[in-house]
Amino acid sequence: MSEARYDAVLFDLLTALIDSWTLWNDVAGGEAEGMAWRRAYLEITYGCGAYRPYETLVAEAAAAAGLPPDRLKMLSARWNELTPWPEAGEALSALAKRAKLGVVTNCSKAKGAAAARIAYAGFDVVATAEEAGFYKPCPEPYALALKRLGATPERTLFVAGSASDVPGASALGMPVYWHNRIGLPATGDVAPMVEERTLAALPGLV
């Protein structure tokens, strides 16, 4: 086996590894409503900086999208219905033979841990915005995961799901594989090393 290009691979959780869009849309009552909720959530979260409770931001986003006030409660009750993207398990199993694996997520600690278990049982690190004290794309969550892994940025591949993770992870010196599943528009002028619609090509880069 050839030498691995990277010592570690870090993932965004709810978009890069997990199809959270389907659950949010269903809870919201439709695709258009779910997308409006999710866009509002991303706008609030990425503009938040210092951590405020994740559930508070999700509720604020629901209100901004014009959804009933019970959507947060419904989403929390159905959190375990989240499902990984179809090829995620195979990709993670292949990567685990080559590198350490971790997650950097804007979830709360409890929801991040639950979602990470759904995606894969063998992560070396799960770092949340709640633990870091800041939301991505601030550097603190990424730096926390790197510290826990004992990995350097240049030897760590970051797998982005949301557009803001591309400049966020790149700012720390990590090369970025953008798993842009649904064709999100780019944020800023920082380009990823690779942009793909699936995770299929990922193991071959590590």
Q: Are residues 122 and 192 in the same domain?
A: yes
Task: Identify the pLDDT of residue 3.
Answer: 76
Does residue 145 have a pLDDT over 90? Answer: yes
Residue 49 confidence (pLDDT): 79
Note whether 111 and 58 are same-domain residues. Answer: no
Interatomic CA distance for residues 143 and 160, integer angstroms = 15
Residues 164 and 177 in one domain: yes
**Could you tell me if 88 and 76 lie in one domain?**
no
pLDDT at 42 over 70: yes
> Is 39 inside a domain boundary?
yes
| Domain shared by 173 and 117, yes or no | yes
Confidence of residue 2 (pLDDT cuts 50, 70, 90): low
User: Cα dihedral angle (185, 188, 193, 199), rounded to 10 degrees?
Assistant: -30
Asked whether residue 3 is assigned to any structural domain, the reply reads: no
> Based on the domain organization, do 105 and 184 belong to the same domain?
yes
The mean pLDDT of the chain is 96
Task: Indicate whether 116 belongs to any domain.
Answer: yes
Tokens of 4: 């691995």
Residues 62 and 159 in one domain: no
Q: How far is 196 from 202, CA to CA, in rounded Å?
A: 9
Question: Residue 72 domain-assigned?
Answer: yes
Residues spanned by the domain of 198: 8-19+82-205
For residue 200, what are the contacts with CB-CB under 8 A and spacing of at least 6? Answer: 87, 91
